Amino acid sequence: MDATGDTGRPRTGVVAGVIRTARPRQWVKNVLVLAAPFAAYAADPVFRTDVVVDAGIAFAAFCLGASAVYLINDAIDVEADRAHPTKRNRPIAAGVVPVRAAYAISAALFLASFAVSLVSSWRLLVVIGVYAALQLGYCLGLKHQPVIDLCIVASGFLLRAIAGGAAAGLPLSQWFLLVTAFGSLFMVAGKRFAEIVLYERTGAQIRASLSKYSASYLRFVWATSAAIMIMAYALWAFEIRLRTGTNSVWAVISIVPFVVAVLRYAVDVDGGNAGEPEDIAFRDRVLQVLGVSWVACVALSAFL
């Protein structure tokens, strides 16, 4: 063994490859753990430090758990990724990170995620455990089952939203659950639609489940999900208005930036450019302004 290790890979390169595979850029998805505390605050504007702390713990637990999933997924899919026009550049597929090392680090991250979640509550541990079980099932074969793969990926977003409430012991509105569930399905169907478009444009190899989908079917799924999400949010907004006790019109006004943001995101979905939702969130300034406007409206509904 030399200074670079027995594989000839520089240790710094392996570390950098592990960090890339852990995808810290995608931790932005874990901000969803703040959804339940924010919704609870909008309905009852009393600031609680313990809720913020528990939400922060949930965020950290999901960052660790999600990174563990990315590592094990890339390790299992290493051969398929090497045949993909862009995924072949991933560290494990490119040979930068050894497959065995990826499995070992993934196990360590899962254990760390469980330990962190216990700092908050057993409820958060249960949510993290369900998330880990579903994602491992996905990585080990359920990703190849049409419809099931959409539901499992969407459940990852839904469980993030539930985790914030579970960690802080907050009750979750039925409308909140519907909005997050169908919003998740909307994003996932859009992501899969983008993969179908990529296949049609480049002939890139696609996962087995996608070969059983058509672009028109995925368009139906994301359009239906968007419609249900918007309807559920509108009903939720009226519920927030009644529960605040202020009879504020701001909760109802928040429907406007919410719907416009959904339609704006749908433009990217329709164009087959929603393969990476976090990239859209980072680069689309109009979508960011709409998001800030929506948050402001919901926050104002608690006071005005």
**Per-residue pLDDT tens digits of the chain, which is 304 residues long:** 333 344 445 555 788 888 888 888 888 888 888 888 877 766 666 667 888 899 899 999 999 999 999 999 888 888 777 776 777 778 888 878 888 888 999 999 999 999 999 998 899 999 999 999 999 999 888 888 888 989 998 999 899 989 988 888 888 888 888 999 999 999 888 888 887 877 777 665 566 667 778 888 888 998 999 999 999 999 988 887 776 666 678 888 999 999 999 999 888 888 767 667 777 777 888 889 999 999 888 878 776 6
pLDDT of residue 45: 62
Identify the pLDDT of residue 32. Answer: 87
The Cα 44–Cα 214 span in angstroms is 45
pLDDT of residue 204: 57
Cα torsion angle, 267, 26, 170, 126, sign: positive
> Which two structure tokens, joined as six digits, stand for 251?
């909760």
CA distances from 227 to 147, 175, 178, 182, 232 (A): 19, 14, 12, 9, 9
Residue 115's φ and ψ, nearest 5 degrees, are: -65, -45
pLDDT at 62: 94
Q: Which residues pair with 232 in a beta bridge?
A: none
Give the C-alpha separation, 109 to 9, whole Å.
Answer: 23
